[in-house]
Amino acid sequence: MIEDPFEQVAFLGFDVFGTVVDWRSSVTRLAEPFLRRHGVHVDPYRFADEWRALYQPAMERVRSGERPWVKLDVLNRENLETVLSRHGVDVGQIPETELIDLNLAWERLDPWPDSVEGLTRLKRRFAIGPISNGHMAGMMKLARFGGLPWDIIVGAEVAKSYKPQPETYLKSAAAVGLPPERIAMVAAHNEDLAAARALGFRTVFVRRPREHGPAQTSDLEPRSNWDVIAGSLLEVAEVLGCG
């Protein structure tokens, strides 16, 4: 009889941006009226991509110790002002309420079509929650917006570190009261899964080939023999016996 590698797993931790929600289309949709209103002549998809492109470099400054820990909404706001300035916008002339509202786009991201049903089915067997770089309030508001049925929110703010630093995974595991071998990381990003596996987590790779749009080149395929490889969260639920 083949042993079920998930028999002892009690918690599924999810990457959120890209794996559970479609950040690119959502940010584009929410940024377009702002850009039009202020005469910013840039394609909204390009704007979303440029904003997102600053995500990892901003976190790396925290990971490297170059700057103290700050929550992701702070980094997103700084990055927003950087992108606007690149396109000739005098950020000081934009009403603060509008900048705040646009930065909240990251809390109003649409789930992928399979996400809510897939999570609901997985929740029948496992406790579920994000192990995300997002801050806790943002994750809560995103869950309320998209109907994401989390049991708990852990991740970067709990650990005061950003993935793929080991502390983000290990302190999240401690927060849910489980050793790493009883947790599986679910992500559309090979780097995330590699970091989790190195600490003893089980791994689930979900293909999201349009996270970065039709010309995406990254994470199109698994780069290792992850425990589960699937094309959607519904398929993950099927593989893990969550009918």
Average pLDDT over residues 2-26: 94
Q: Is residue 152 within 8 Å of 127, Cβ to Cβ?
A: yes
Binned at pLDDT 50, 70 and 90, residue 6 comes out as very high
User: 243: pLDDT confidence band, cut at 50, 70 and 90?
Assistant: confident
Residue 4's pLDDT is what? 84
- In the predicted model, what is the mean pLDDT of residues 183-197? 98
- Average model confidence (pLDDT) for the chain? 97
Residue 215 in this model has a pLDDT that exceeds 50: yes
Q: What is the pLDDT of residues 219-232, one digit of tens each?
A: 999 999 999 999 99
CA gap 233, 242 in Å, rounded: 11
* Domain limits, the chain: 11-22+109-239, 24-107
- CATH architecture of the domain with range 11-22+109-239: 3-Layer(aba) Sandwich (3.40)
- Give the architecture (CATH level 2) of 24-107: Orthogonal Bundle (1.10)
Write down the pLDDT at residue 1: 42
What is the rounded average pLDDT of the residues 127-137?
Answer: 98
* pLDDT higher than threshold 90 for residue 193: yes
Q: Which residues contact 35 (CB under 8 A, 6 or more apart)?
A: 42, 44, 47
What is the average per-residue pLDDT within 3-30?
96
Q: Over the stretch 146-156, which tens digit does the pLDDT of each residue have? A: 999 999 999 99
> What percent of the chain stands above pLDDT 70?
99
| pLDDT confidence of residue 5 | 87
* Alpha helical stretches, state H, the chain: 23-37, 44-53, 55-63, 72-86, 96-103, 115-122, 136-146, 156-159, 166-175, 190-197, 233-239
| pLDDT tens, residue by residue, 54-73 | 999 999 999 999 999 999 99
